[in-house]
Structure 1
Amino acid sequence: MNPNPYERIGAGYARHRRPDPRIAGQINRALGPARTVVNVGAGTGSYEPHDRRVTAVEPSLVMTRQRPRGSAPVVRGYAESLPFPDRSFDAAMAVLTVHHWTDPAAGLAELRRVSGRQVVLTWDPAVTARFWLVEEYLPEIAEADAHLASLDLVAAWFRRDGARVRVDPVGVAADCADGFLGAYWRRPHHYLDPRVRAAVSALATLDPRLVEPAMRRLETDLATGHWHERHRDLLGASTLDLGYRLVTVTPPTRNGK
């Protein structure tokens, strides 16, 4: 397996990547009646439901050590080779993690093998590319996204065996508690904080020679009011579609429908 990126960039995740209750509610509803859940690429434990029996799988010690006391037990492992028998869990969940897997197709196959239902939070790169931070300051993120496993790969893979695949938009609230890439769409000054950027893999893994001048331009645009002038339509919005998508997969019925 390739070295896990979170051994290098994951130190501040517990502070800046807290679960947003609205997204947590959407994920919990997608899990349906599942009583046992495996959370693959579990990180610090965000979005693990508290009313179900959860087993977490995470390869990074840096992330595992940030899990709060009393959280689900953790198995150190990789998505591509889950250490469980077939159908060990009612459901499997994977939250903003598939793009970090060494072999996404193998990982999705493992999710399918060990669970009856799969719930995957990912994103649509075509929508994310229009996000102002990407489009105006760091288009290199969109270029990198083109090579990452995201919505199309996830949905297409699960549809291969006739599974029922539902794709729902996940809106990002203006006060989103989870500091992923699009979380601060109406709070742009947060992107100027290196600690915030360090908890966003798309920014933390990008060449600093690209990120730092982009942040200086953003800082200038905020100071001069140019950003607010360009994005006055966002200032009154409460939720924005930035391309995040929740994929819910249930097995086909016996007649294939």
Structure 2
Amino acid sequence: MSKPLLIDPYRVLGRGYADVRRPDRTIGRQVHAALGTATSVLNVGAGTGSYEPTDRQVLAVEPSVTMLGQRGPGSAPVVRATAEALPCRDDQFDVALALLTVHHWADPVAGLAELRRVARRQVVLTWDVEVMARYWLVADYLPEIAVRERRLATVDTVLAAFGAAEVQVVEVQVVEVPWDCTDGFLAAYWRRPEAYLDEGVRAGMSGVASLPETVVRPAMARLAADLRSGAWHRRHDDLLTRETLDVGYRLVIAS
């Protein structure tokens, strides 16, 4: 069998990723709780190493040279490989972890099958596209994100793949995003709209960074105008006193 092509979707998108995608403590606690009593973890699509536990044996898998170069000192050992062809034995790990990565895989169904092959349990962080489509950034300014993401592998793909393989889905957890979330993914700034005007912040969000500037620039101009006029605050004043928000992120735990 030929060696899989190592495609690097983050060759451009991932520059400066470690600066804006710092692990959030609240989300980290939920992810680590989902690992249960596992002593060995395979982190697939590991990126810069966010949320990798430090109290268990961890091996990271990541295809992107850009991301590998941003892994900090003391990070878990890492191999450059794809989710679709994991260089691991059957049942080698207690848990296979995949955090906000399945939508980047060339063949998500094959990658999810590999998670099942190499680990007895799977923990996958993804999102519900229809919930995300109602998020104000998407609904009011960048509906193109929802159009694009309906073509990607998200929670429905994960559940369908596990269901087709007769894998028991133990739980699907809502991952509420804290208002001061330090992990700058797409909906991290739901109560801090000014952050989206920062090009460096947007660069850490593949959902935005993948869109053409001819779409993003006028959308951000409208957001800036709404912030200056107070229109955004009038429309979303109910968010300003909330501590957390469900914007669609889902943690799928399966065995």
Is TM more than 0.5 here? Answer: yes
Q: Which residue matches 1:147? A: 151
Letter in 2 for 1:196: V
The 8 Å contact of residues 6 and 81 in structure 2, kept in 1 or not, is answered as: no
TM-score by length of structure 2 reads: 0.96
Q: Does 1:199 align with 2:211?
A: no
Select 2:141's aligned residue among 123, 137, 158: 137
The 8 Å contact of residues 58 and 76 in structure 2, kept in 1 or not, is answered as: yes
**5 Å matches for 1:41-190?**
41-165=45-169, 166-190=171-195
The 8 Å contact of residues 39 and 92 in structure 1, kept in 2 or not, is answered as: yes
Select 2:250's aligned residue among 233, 245, 250: 245
**Percent identity of equivalent pairs:** 59
Letter in 1 for 2:201: V
Structure 2 distance, partners of 1:7, 1:120, is: 23
2:182 aligns to what SS in structure 1?
A: coil
Deviation at 1:244, TM superposition (A): 0.1
Structure 2 distance, partners of 1:118, 1:56, is: 15
The 8 Å contact of residues 129 and 150 in structure 2, kept in 1 or not, is answered as: yes
CA 1:84–1:64 in 2, change beyond 3 Å: closer, same or farther? Answer: same
Deviations 1:39-70 (A, max 9, x none): 00000000101111100000111111111100
Structure 2 distance, partners of 1:100, 1:161, is: 21
Structure 2 distance, partners of 1:155, 1:136, is: 29
Deviation at 1:152, TM superposition (A): 0.6
Letter in 2 for 1:192: L
Deviation at 1:160, TM superposition (A): 2.3
The 8 Å contact of residues 104 and 149 in structure 1, kept in 2 or not, is answered as: yes
Aligned length: 250
Deviation at 1:11, TM superposition (A): 1.1
Structure 1 distance, partners of 2:177, 2:79, is: 30
Structure 1 distance, partners of 2:6, 2:222, is: 34
Q: Which residue matches 2:222? A: 217
The 8 Å contact of residues 7 and 63 in structure 2, kept in 1 or not, is answered as: no
Structure 2 distance, partners of 1:101, 1:240, is: 27
RMSD (CA atoms)? 0.8
Gaps of 5+ in 1: 251-257
Structure 1 distance, partners of 2:217, 2:8, is: 24
Deviation at 1:164, TM superposition (A): 2.0
Gaps of 5+ in 2: none
The 8 Å contact of residues 39 and 57 in structure 1, kept in 2 or not, is answered as: yes
Structure 1 distance, partners of 2:8, 2:247, is: 26
Structure 1 distance, partners of 2:124, 2:7, is: 22
Q: Which residue matches 1:227? A: 232
Letter in 2 for 1:203: V
